[in-house]
Each structure stands twice: as structure tokens, then as C-alpha cells.
Chain A
Amino acid sequence: MTTATNGAPLIEFAGVTMQFGGVVALSAFDLSVQAGQIFALIGPNGAGKTTVFNVVTGVYKPTSGAIRFQGERIDGQKRFRITQSGIARTFQNVRLFPNMSALENVMVGADAHHRTGAVGAALGLPWHRSEERHGRETGLALLDFVGIGGRAEDTAKNLPYGDQRRLEIARALATDPRLVLLDEPAAGMNPAEKHALQGLIRKIRDDDRTVLLIEHDMGLVMDISDQIAVLDFGEKIAEGPPREVQRNPKVIEAYLGADVDAS
């Protein structure tokens, strides 16, 4: 697994446009994310943030433009290949495998790098067993890492909402991604849970991964982000460290919808 060298971005968007019929969800979007950062994507509802995640992960093929991950074009590639190449995501509305146990959910993620096929599994061959062991150990370790180690055997849908969000993060991490995309991880969490989540996101970054984050909770975003980009109507209107972005008049206008000079 190569890590981006200094200077070369981990992921780079060049003029990415995504149109749905007449609707432009993303317009000539440029962005570079350096490895080792916590990078936040903010903007009003409908600004195109999740569309960014969807074009990165291959859910949509961009209408035009290019996305490079570790120097390689990934736009238009198959979704599972993109995941295997080192990008994993969570979903705005939790999408776990509801009737599988927490551990099994995470093991599905870990399987992204497993190779045994039907023959190895049917015959119980040694490398299959060692992969199963690896998946189980990785899974348990990650459940501990996100703080739900005690719930491995629980069915995913029976977990409290906050734990389901953590489980989604664990499942994404199990694919051993270089880039983790978190789509509104704090949605629906209480202040204590949000606080714990902040710690978790930092831990992920410290684990030599890069985090790209969509979040509406401005306190959280301003607290943990190294860099922020602001989207409005499919266009990037600002980018910079939290302090700068906070003071940017365009951003204030986009959020408040008012002319800054009016006061």
C-alpha cells in the first residue's frame, strides 16, 4: 500500500461535473486532499456534498472531469474495485446489513482483501481458515477501536442508533482504506456521543488514514478539521483552514442567505 508522498495529493478532483438531466449537482469541482488530513466538506442541504462521495466511490460516473486517487484515475471504475483500492465510506442514512451480527458486518468489510473462493471454502482449505481467522480478529479489534467491542454478537439492527453509526465506521475501516469518507457521522447523536465521535475521527487520522468528512455540526467541524471546503449549488465557493472559512463572506452568505453588507 503506497502512501502519497509529500506534495502529491492523496485524492484529486479535476473539473468534476455531475449532471442529472438538466440538474447540475456538481459543477467543475476541483479539490486536492493531502494524506493525513481531516478534511471537511460543508455546505447547505442540496449543495452536492454527498454527490462528491458518490462520484468518488463509483456510485455515479462523473459527466466530465477526472478523479485521481494515489495518482490513478478512479472515476468510472467498478465500485468494489474502488473500495479495494483503498477508499471506504459510510452512509448518510445508515446502511448496515441489518440482520447480520455486528461482527459479521465488519467481516464483510475485511473480506474485501480476502481471496478464497467457493472451492477453498467448501473444502475448508488452510488458507481459507487463516483468512477467516484474520477477518474475525480484524473485526473484533475494529469493534473495540470504535468502542462497541461488547456487542460483536448483537444483530446490527438491534444496536442503538449511535452504535450503528460506529459499526458503519468499523465496517468501512475493515476494508483497510487510505481514505475514509464519513457522511454526516454525527447526525442524530447527543453531545456526549458527538464528543466521543470527535476522538474517534482523530484516532482514525492518527492511524495513518485520511478522513474526508461531510458534517452539519459546525462546532465539530471547526474543532477537528485541518482543512474545509464549502459547497453551494454544486460549486466550491471557499476552501481553507477553519478560521479562514468561518470569516469568508461568501460562506456566510451561503449559510445565512443574506447580503453581508445589509447589517
Chain B
Amino acid sequence: MSRLRQLRDRWSATIDRVRDWWHDASGWQRWTLYGLLIVLALFAPSQAVGSVMSPFTDWPSLLFNPIGIYILLALGLNIVVGYAGLLDLGYVAFFAIGAYTLAYLSTKYGWSFWPLLVLGIALAAVSGVILGAPTLRLRGDYLAIVTLGFGEIVRITATNTDEIGGARGITNIPHPPDLPGVEFLLDPLPYYYIVVGLIVLTIVFSRRLEHSRVGRAWNAIREDEDAAELMGVPTFKFKLLAFAIGAMIGGMAGVVLAGKVIFIEPNNFPFILSATIVAAVVLGGSGNIPGVMLGAFLIAWLPERFRGFAEYRILFFGAALVLVMALRPEGLLPSRRRRAELREGSGGMGSLGAEVAGPGAADHVEAKG
């Protein structure tokens, strides 16, 4: 155990050094790194990488789903959990809504992929608002339970609605129309590149939001919701906004997935997937984009990489998760701020239940005179 702690401390020191370097890095240094990362993402599906990373499964397929899709979902959930501090355990619902939007409207009415991508995102946003409006008055655990219920409601409704295929799901979902020089068929590569594009877009928007009035408001809400409200922050509005934006990204991932897989059914969207994405966010470092992406990558990749261990792989995977959380509860690459919040047990989701403030928020504010 002490060896492991040493390892952890060395990891922390390395991370801090990299972070300091990044903080002082000049514009061209940053752009060079961004460029390198994008080149890396574009060449990732090559055979050479695949033989190391994934000897048991087709590597480009793996890169699209689960790796790419999980990263997209984790980035979306990061806005809800990492930025606004709202624990959403029903995030898979938005993923399902995006996927069903594409599956239903393309099979039934022959709509094409690209307009449906936009529509799927819009519908997910609307459902995010519908879920958020009545529930965001709740805090902490209460919110988590209600969102968990929402995820189940969506899945069960899909199972019981014959119009959208019921338990049998929807088959023969058409692929996206060909672009000049690109055919969307069974080859996972073009889909992977769509996901890379959407991930880049999501990162750009996330970062801009984080460093704006909106991100500050989320931060303030996470740290002290009552004080934020009293400083003129419309907390409800901003929480709803976080929900809607998170939902949009989840819906987007759903549309892209459905465009590739030909067949979806309600059981593609179980509660365990919501929990897995939460695990990815927490494992990687909630609130920090590189951390969240690393977490999603590991959670998607590890079980596939160790397929050789057959049934035992999930056991090892679980043990590895427990170990990381025991040694480094703030995640592998946390944001500095979230790390501090976790240390002191403040900050919405950071406490995972230590902060149980019921609906009577006012009781928080000093009452005596």
C-alpha cells in the first residue's frame, strides 16, 4: 500500500508540474499541443496502434463506440456534474432520446441524418428542461434520486410504446448520406471522425462557458448556492441551463450512435450506463476536461483491452476503480478547485451526500439576529 501511495504522490507531482507548465505556456506552445492532439486523434485508428491497444477487438470500432461515445457523454455530463455540481444519475435518458429521434424519424419518415442531428440535440435540450424545471429545486441526493427515476421512465416508456418498436426496438436505421469522398457504411472510421469533430466542438464550447459569466455562476452555485442567489445569480436559471446543455451533448452522442448501429432497443440505455458515465467523470477528475476524457477513455477501454481474462475482467475493473478512488478520491486529473472542494467536503456533488440540504434552503442562512 505504501508503494502505491508513493506512486500516487509522484503522479500528483507530475500533474502539478505539467499544469504549471501549461499555465505559463505561450500561445504558440498551446496551439502546437492542440494540433498534435488532433493529429493523434486522426491517426489513432491505425493498425499499429490497434495491435497494442486492442488485440482482441476491432480497434477502430472500439474507438467509435464505446471510447468516442463515452468521451462525448462524459464531456456532456461534466457540465452538469463537474461545473454546476448537480448529480444526475439519469443522464442516459438524453442519450436515448437522441438515438430514438434519429431511429424513429429516419425509418418512419425518411429524414436524413444531418437535420436529425440538429433536431435530436434540440429535443434532448427540451427534455432536459422538462426534467429540470420541476426537479432542480431539490439538492444533493434528492436530485440524484429523481434523475435516476427519469432515466428509468424514458427506458420503460420506450419498452412499452409500440409506435417506436416497444421492447423489440427499431431496426434498419439508415446510415448518414454519403459526403463527397466519404461513404457511411459499416466501416467505423467515418463515424469515428464525426465523433472526433463533435468532441472538439464540445471542448471548445465547454471551455468558453467555463471561463465566462455562466461558468462563474455555476462555480458560485456549487460552492455556496444561497450566497450566489443573494449576489444576484438566478441560480435556478443557471442550473436549468447546465441541465439543458448537458442534455444536448448526450442527445448528440445518441444520434451519432444510432446512425452507425442499424438497430437500437431500450436495453441499449440501461441505468448502468448512466452510472458508468458518472464513474468516468469522477474517476477522471470532475470539472476538468482532460481528466474527464481520460476517465471516459479508461472506463471504455480497460474492459475491452483485458477481454483475455474473460469473466474476471469486470472483477479486476471494479477492483481497479475502488483502488483509484481509495488512493485518489479527487480523480486522476482533477481541476485544482474541485480538488480543494473535495478535500473540505464542500461543493455539491463533491460530497456525494455529505451535503444534504433539503428544499428549505433558507435554513442555511444565519437566522439569529
A contact residues vs B (CB 8 Å cutoff): 20, 25-26, 43, 45-52, 54, 57-60, 78-80, 83-84, 88-89, 91-93, 95-100, 104, 107-109, 111-114, 116-118, 121-124, 128, 131-132, 135, 155, 157, 171-172, 175, 183, 214, 231
Q: How far is the CA of A50 from the CA of B216 in the complex (A)?
A: 28
Neighbouring A residues of B365 by C-beta, 8 Å: 54, 59, 91
* Interface 1/0 per residue, B209-245 and A, CB below 8 Å: 1001111110110011011111111110000010001
Contact partner, A108, options B217, B344, B362, Cβ 8 Å:
B217
Indicate if the CB atoms of B216 and A108 lie closer than 8 Å: yes
Indicate if the CB atoms of A50 and B241 lie closer than 8 Å: no
Neighbouring B residues of A183 by C-beta, 8 Å: 366
Indicate if the CB atoms of A121 and B212 lie closer than 8 Å: yes
The number of chain B residues touching the other chain, given as a range, is: 35 or more
Top-8 shortest CB links A-B? A112-B232, A121-B212, A83-B232, A49-B369, A50-B369, A48-B369, A97-B223, A95-B227
A-B contact pairs, 11 of them (CB 8 A): A26-B369, A50-B366, A79-B229, A80-B233, A91-B227, A100-B223, A111-B232, A112-B231, A118-B214, A132-B213, A183-B366
Indicate if the CB atoms of B219 and A100 lie closer than 8 Å: yes
Indicate if the CB atoms of A109 and B368 lie closer than 8 Å: no
Extra pairs beyond A25-B369, A45-B368, A83-B232 (15, CB < 8 Å):
A50-B368, A54-B362, A79-B229, A80-B229, A88-B232, A95-B227, A97-B220, A97-B223, A97-B224, A108-B228, A108-B231, A114-B213, A122-B208, A157-B340, A171-B231
Are A80 and B367 CB-contacts (below 8 A) given A99-B341, A104-B219? no
Q: How far is the CA of A157 from the CA of B245 in the complex (A)?
A: 30
Instruction: Tell yes or no: B205 within 8 A of A by CB.
Output: yes
Are A124 and B208 CB-contacts (below 8 A) given A46-B368, A84-B232, A118-B245? yes
Q: How many A-B residue pairs have CB under 8 A?
A: 133
Neighbouring B residues of A49 by C-beta, 8 Å: 369
Which residue, A45, A99, A128, has most C-beta atoms of chain B within 10 A?
Answer: A99
Are A88 and B213 CB-contacts (below 8 A) given A98-B346, A100-B220? no
Task: Give min CB distance, B149 to chain A, whole Å.
Answer: 27
Which residue, B212, B340, B366, has most C-beta atoms of chain A within 10 A?
Answer: B212
Indicate if the CB atoms of A60 and B369 lie closer than 8 Å: no
Neighbouring B residues of A113 by C-beta, 8 Å: 232
Query: Closest residue of chain A to B344, judged by CB?
Result: A98
Q: How far is the CA of A128 from the CA of B241 in the complex (A)?
A: 17
* Interface 1/0 per residue, B305-348 and A, CB below 8 Å: 00000000000000000000000000000000100110010110
Task: Give min CB distance, A227 to chain B, whole Å.
Answer: 19
Indicate if the CB atoms of A91 and B366 lie closer than 8 Å: yes
Q: How far is the CA of A34 from the CA of B32 in the complex (A)?
A: 60
Which residue, B217, B220, B231, B344, has most C-beta atoms of chain A within 10 A?
Answer: B231
Are A116 and B231 CB-contacts (below 8 A) given A100-B223, A108-B220? no
Contact partner, B362, options A60, A114, A214, Cβ 8 Å:
A60
Neighbouring B residues of A109 by C-beta, 8 Å: 231-232
Task: Give min CB distance, B239 to chain A, whole Å.
Answer: 12
Q: How far is the CA of A109 from the CA of B366 in the complex (A)?
A: 20
Q: How far is the CA of A104 from the CA of B336 in the complex (A)?
A: 15
Indicate if the CB atoms of A112 and B369 lie closer than 8 Å: no
Indicate if the CB atoms of A80 and B209 lie closer than 8 Å: no
Neighbouring A residues of B235 by C-beta, 8 Å: 80
Indicate if the CB atoms of A59 and B230 lie closer than 8 Å: yes
Neighbouring B residues of A128 by C-beta, 8 Å: 212-213
Neighbouring A residues of B337 by C-beta, 8 Å: 99-100
Neighbouring A residues of B341 by C-beta, 8 Å: 99
Are A231 and B369 CB-contacts (below 8 A) given A79-B230, A97-B224, A99-B341? yes
Indicate if the CB atoms of A121 and B232 lie closer than 8 Å: no
Q: How far is the CA of A83 from the CA of B235 in the complex (A)?
A: 13
Indicate if the CB atoms of A111 and B213 lie closer than 8 Å: yes
Neighbouring B residues of A135 by C-beta, 8 Å: 213
Query: Closest residue of chain A to B208, judged by CB?
Result: A122
Which residue, B227, B235, B245, has most C-beta atoms of chain A within 10 A?
Answer: B227
Neighbouring B residues of A80 by C-beta, 8 Å: 229-235
Q: How far is the CA of A117 from the CA of B224 in the complex (A)?
A: 21
Are A54 and B213 CB-contacts (below 8 A) given A83-B230, A83-B231? no
Q: How far is the CA of A84 from the CA of B235 in the complex (A)?
A: 13
Q: How far is the CA of A51 from the CA of B369 in the complex (A)?
A: 6
Neighbouring B residues of A48 by C-beta, 8 Å: 369
Task: Give min CB distance, A200 to chain B, whole Å.
Answer: 19
